[in-house]
Amino acid sequence: MTDLAALADQLDEAACTGIATPQLAAAAGVDVDTAYAVQEELVGRRLNRGERLVGLKMGLTSRAKMAQVGVDEIIWGRLTDAMHIDDGGTVRVGEFIHPRAEPEVAFLLDRLPEPGEPVTDFASAVRAVAPAVEIIDSRYRDFTFSLPDVIADNCSAAAYVVGAWQPVPDGLDNLGVLLEVDGRVVQTGSTAAILGDPRRALTEGVRLAGRYGVRMRAGWVFLAGAATAAVPLKPGAHVRAVVESLGTASLKAAP
Ligand code: OOG
Ligand code: MG
C-alpha cells in the first residue's frame, strides 16, 4: 500500500518551507490514479488549515507547455482561495522555490453538465471569461518531474491572478496572447494553442476531474492552461498577460 499521507506531507513541507524535494513517484510506485489521490490529500492539508476550494486548473493543454516540461498528458489540479491574487496585486516570490509565470484564459463557471457529459452548452456553462496569469512552482528539484509526480504536486499550482471578467465572446479559438515582463514581450501565442480552442479544456476538465468524483461548481474559477511556455518570475518583476479582446491581468513580484 502506498502511504498517501507520507507523500502528501513531503510535498506539503516542500511548499511550506520553500525547499525543493526529490521526485517521489517512481520510488513509491505511484501511478496516475494514486497521484490524484496524493493530490487530494495534499490539497486537503491546505483545506485543514482553513483554505477554501475555489476552482480547478488545467495543465499541459498546449504543445508549448508539454515541450517545456517533457510531459505530454493533460492534467488538472485544484485552486484554493489562498492562491488568488488581486489583479495588479503583489505576490511574494521568496515564499516559492523557483516560480514561473504563464499566460492563461480563465472561465467563471456557471451551470456545468454532469461529470462525464460533454460541455455542449458553453454559454450556460461559463458566465464570464478573463485573461489570467498563473504562477507555477514545482516542489521538485530543478523543476523536473514525471507525469505522476506533477499530478501529485497539484500540477505545480502556486498562485494566480485573473483580470476583469468579460462577457463570453463568440469565438475564443484564435485570440492573440502576450506575456510581458517589465513592459517587454517575452512570450507570444494564441488561444488556439490551448487544445485548438480553450473551450475544449473545459470539456476535458469535466471529464478528467469527473473520473475522480470531482464536480465543478457555479462560481468556481477554471484556468484553461497556458498558451505559451512559462518564464522565471524574478523579484521586482512586473508581469502582465494580454489576451486580444479580453484585456489584461497583471501582478508584481515582491521579494
Ligand atoms: C505543470 C503545470 C502546467 C499549464 O498551464 O500547462 C500548467 C508545470 O508546468 O509545472 O499549469
Ligand atoms: Mg498553468
Quote the DSSP letter at residue 117. Answer: S
d(CA 66, CA 120): 27
**Whole-number pLDDT of residue 118:** 84
C-beta of 161 in contact with ligand 1 (< 6 A): no
**Whole-number pLDDT of residue 88:** 98
d(CA 253, CA 235): 5
Between the CA of 1 and the centroid of ligand 2 the distance, in Å, is 31
Report pLDDT digits (tens) over 61-83: 999 999 999 999 999 999 999 99
The predicted model gives 128-137 an average pLDDT of 98
**Whole-number pLDDT of residue 6:** 98
**Where residue 119 sits, what CATH number does that domain have?**
3.90.850.10
- Report the nearest atom of ligand 1 relative to the CA of 226: 5
Query: Helix, strand, coil % (nearest 5) of the chain?
Result: 30, 30, 35
If one residue of 65, 102, 149 were mutated to test the ligand 1 pocket, choosing by the most ligand atoms within 8 A of its CB, it would be: 65
d(CA 121, CA 136): 30
Q: What average pLDDT does the structure give for the chain?
A: 97
**Whole-number pLDDT of residue 117:** 81
Identify residue 6 by its one-letter amino acid code: A
**Is it the case that residue 116 has pLDDT exceeding 90?**
no
**Is it the case that residue 5 has pLDDT exceeding 80?**
yes
Q: Is the pTM higher than 0.95?
A: yes
Report pLDDT digits (tens) over 157-173: 999 999 999 999 989 99
Tally of domains within the chain = 1
| CA 103 to centroid of chain Cα atoms | 10
**Is it the case that residue 115 has pLDDT exceeding 80?**
no
User: What is the band of 1 on the pLDDT scale with cuts at 50, 70, 90?
Assistant: confident
Report pLDDT digits (tens) over 169-206: 989 999 999 999 999 999 999 999 999 999 999 999 99
Range of the domain at 228: 4-254
Report pLDDT digits (tens) over 18-41: 999 999 999 999 999 999 999 999
Q: Whose CA is nearest to atom 4 of ligand 1?
A: 59
Enter the C-alpha cell of residue 81.
482561495
**Whole-number pLDDT of residue 162:** 98
Between the CA of 115 and the centroid of ligand 2 the distance, in Å, is 22
Report pLDDT digits (tens) over 221-243: 999 999 999 999 999 999 999 99
C-beta of 132 in contact with ligand 1 (< 6 A): no
Ligand nearest to the CA of 154: 1
